[in-house]
Structure 1
């Protein structure tokens, strides 16, 4: 094995030559292309990596590789293959070695991307696809991974044309709807009267850009033309500012929720915000929670039900379950009463009405608000301020 190490004499001569080249007394080193190399260039830049080292002194590895260019539409662009081009008309008979599914010669049966046929072209000899143009471009690393390589900007004209057709259809539908309703605004009245509107005046029509009229915290209902607020805006008071008392309702800053009523000392008519639990436990929210719980329990028992995937099925099953549950409860109660008796005790009024008194101590104010007797227990922790 031949060693690449230099002897002391060779190393000394090399150092003297490098010093002479830096001083200008010796000619500069020339690379394989005939270009002079600056003697002050560091060694780590002159030394090529092992995977591109040719054994000759050169700075070629420091330059970016030249990209191959092709002329298309009068402009230079990277090389790319023509997608979807056919080599010619489709064959009329099946050829030996072609794809058994579509009948094309350019690919094998296992590589066919067409829908698998019940009987392939090999056996039917019908609907044989034309051969595609296959090009071996030998693309570089970046050319293979360039997502816009070979893209034709003129293809976007089809998208613009489709959008213009949709816009014209929308305007025609809007005009027909306004014709049925009659002249509702001044601009429409002028249009129907024959005064006509210019393009600038049409751009000022408020209905034309109603879809873009959404503002932070509100959106426009296109049917009723009313503004609906769905988020807190600057004019709204934050929940934690309604009552600054430290013993007031707890505000969770992470979820921005205040479940309890921060204004418990006010009447229901004066309260604008009574806590998030008011919305959670009113309306159809409790019923929705029951349906969701029923769907979970039914799924645990092995039934294929899901509230979000098929809400109609879950609603029907829950309705049937509730009806059967009531009938079973009534029949069970009836059978117990028939066997043991005691139906007269179920019809008796509550003890509070019979005795007109109760052992629960509750204090009320003049307005009927509970002052003492039903307070909520305070949360206690290891901190001193919670133990007071």
Structure 2
């Protein structure tokens, strides 16, 4: 079978060549005999190929790469057999979806792979290449123009929409050029204005530099100190010193006014004096408060001696007043026994002195005292 197919193909190619030569030399070959025509017809019959044996791209069916049919094409969508199939690039279930009917995989099956090493990055890479981007921008421009009041419709009048988009791009480019020229005319271009002279560009210079074994420069070009990435010698808000030149109580500040607030305004020597005065006043108030807490008030001592609590050691009692208080206490107790133990009387003075309290303590009966019966 392979021999027959090869023979039939060879004969068909020879016949086609002869037919082309005949058509080109038709005017010169009018005198060809009928015998030669018969021989050619016989060769054509022999060159007929059995169509049932041509299986590569001969079979044509409908509904190829479409859902509703209507288009025709070869059934076979061949690939190079050395290449890995799309659905075998990533065997993860949650990876890019592969549609077996259309043999398409829109998403990238290996998104984490280096783009330079990828052989296949999904069918969507073809959707953003070529004129697809221009068509997408054309649709977006038509939508935006319709929203702004222009009578444009991409599907109803595509030629009008494309012409309008082309004019829009031309006008936009002109506007950008005009804006650039205006700015260049007003401010100039430092890249082109300050051009070095030709003799300096082509000039040469020689210098001698000596290095030590460690690579340090001993003689020659001076080493330039590296610049810091922080701002240096920048004075803001009327300060005469930089931030961080003052340190107090674990806080940074300005030395000129001794303030520890970053963006504060400089107050100078007056601010330093005011801060010192406030600090001295605060220290004086703290010392006064501590002294007041340590020493009790005189009124408090009188109250303690009057109401029968602990008697201070430095309490001074007049003996005459104490004797009078003892006498009054005896009379009060007698009246209580005689007048039904009446404890309150309007004729008594309610003022209590330390001597009265001392007399009360001396005359008071302690019920828990075992010697209470022998006191009187």
TM-score by length of 2: 0.29
Q: In proportion to residue count, which structure has more helix?
A: 2
TM-score by length of 1: 0.29
